[in-house]
Amino acid sequence: MVDLLRCPLDQSNLVMAGKTEIVDMSMKRILIPIPSYGFDPTEVAIPWKLISEKDIEIVFITPEGKKASTDSLILKGKNLGIWKSVLRARQDAVDAYYEMKKNKSFCNPLKYIDVQEKGFDAILLPGGHDKGVKEYLESEVLQHLVVDFFVAKKPVGAICHGVVLAARSINSDTKKSVIHKYKTTSLLKSQELLAYNLTRLWLKDYYLTYPEITVEDEIKSVLLDCNNFLKGPTPLSRDNFNHLKRGFAVRDRNYLSARWPGDAYNFSFEFIRMVQELNILTY
């Protein structure tokens, strides 16, 4: 995990003026917006499971406040052909998704329009390839919400196509993307085009959510400096509890980004640390 402009904090104590207050993590609330259909199961369910295990409240929101469904192709691997074992969600993510489907918050999401930044401590933006994610990526309501989290300097985590939502969130004061001056990563052009070329004979442009531009190219277009886009090591294997170094994430101040489902554990644990830092209040 690349960590930028971060000073280590003692998670147990932070003394200022002789006074320290530790707040129960259960008081923290994280917002996860998702589309009605098409979100990546790994990028939602793995963070949900790991964050929930820390007794942090997660609130889901969908366009109309109705229970959402994941991308069934990625969940079940149907029609992925010989590449099924490589492209479909791994079993730990599948198990986490079916567990999440029974969760009260997931089953009873709020509407995009019904939430405000001030009611939450952080926001996590997952991704997905299916064209169904466009209602999420193109939502002006969500874009304004993301701006509010950046302005408030609250933790914002974005993985894969979730970085597109962040990139499209334009601060009305600066007229620039909220990540304009940040370092970031996202789904790599090489990853996106490889998946497309492996499956285009039967899945057409499924792996190109926007055929006219790759995720990486769109993200670079909003950055102050293209060198602020970090590709990380070649993404060959997915990370897990025992192999966190396989994953890659970039933290710059209050913003955390990652590339694909293979970074989900590394991304989730670092996002949890960001929220835990909020757990130490001084007065």
pLDDT of 20 reads 39
What pLDDT, on the 0 to 100 scale, is given for residue 281?
Answer: 43
- Is this prediction's pTM over 0.95? no
Residues with Cβ < 8 Å from 283, sequence gap 6 or more?
A: 16, 17, 19, 21
Residue 9 pLDDT: 36
Contacts of 84 (CB under 8 A, 6+ apart): 77
HEC profile of the chain: CEEECCCCCCCCCCCECCECEECCHHHCEEEEECCCEEECHHHHHHHHHHHHCCCCEEEEEECCCCCCEECHHHHHCCCCHHHHHHHCCCHHHHHHHHHHCCCHHHHCCEEHHHCCHHHCCEEEECCCCCHHHHHHHCCHHHHHHHHHHHHCCCCEEEECCHHHHHHCCEECCCCEECCCCCCECCCCHHHHHHHHHHHHHHHCCCCCCCCCCCHHHHHHHCCCCHHHECCCCCCCCCCCCCCHHHCCEEEECCEEEECCHHHHHHHHHHHHHHHHHHCEECC
* Residue whose C-alpha is closest to residue 62's, from 104, 98, 112: 112
Query: What pLDDT tens digit does each residue of the chain (283 aa) get?
Result: 665 544 333 333 333 333 333 444 457 999 999 999 999 999 999 999 999 999 999 999 999 999 999 999 999 998 898 999 999 999 999 999 999 999 999 999 999 999 999 999 999 999 999 999 999 999 999 999 999 999 999 999 999 999 999 999 999 999 999 999 999 999 999 999 999 999 999 999 999 999 999 999 999 999 999 999 999 999 989 999 999 999 999 999 999 999 999 999 999 999 999 999 986 543 2
- Residues shown for the chain: 283
Q: How many CB atoms lie within 10 A of CB 226?
A: 9
- Give the C-alpha separation, 162 to 271, whole Å: 14
Instruction: Tell me what pLDDT residue 21 has.
Output: 37
Those residues whose C-beta lies under 8 Å from the C-beta of residue 201, and which sit 6 or more positions away, are none
Is 169 in contact with 144 (CB distance < 8 Å)?
A: yes
Model pLDDT, residue 280: 55
Q: Is the dihedral of CA 44, 45, 50, 51 positive or negative?
A: positive
Q: What is the pLDDT of residue 2?
A: 63
Q: Do residues 165 and 189 touch, judged by C-beta distance below 8 A?
A: no
pLDDT at position 241 is 92
Beta bridge partners of 70: 39
Structural domains in the chain, sorted by start: 25-281 (3.40.50.880)
Instruction: Report d(CA 120, CA 129) in Å as an integer.
Output: 27
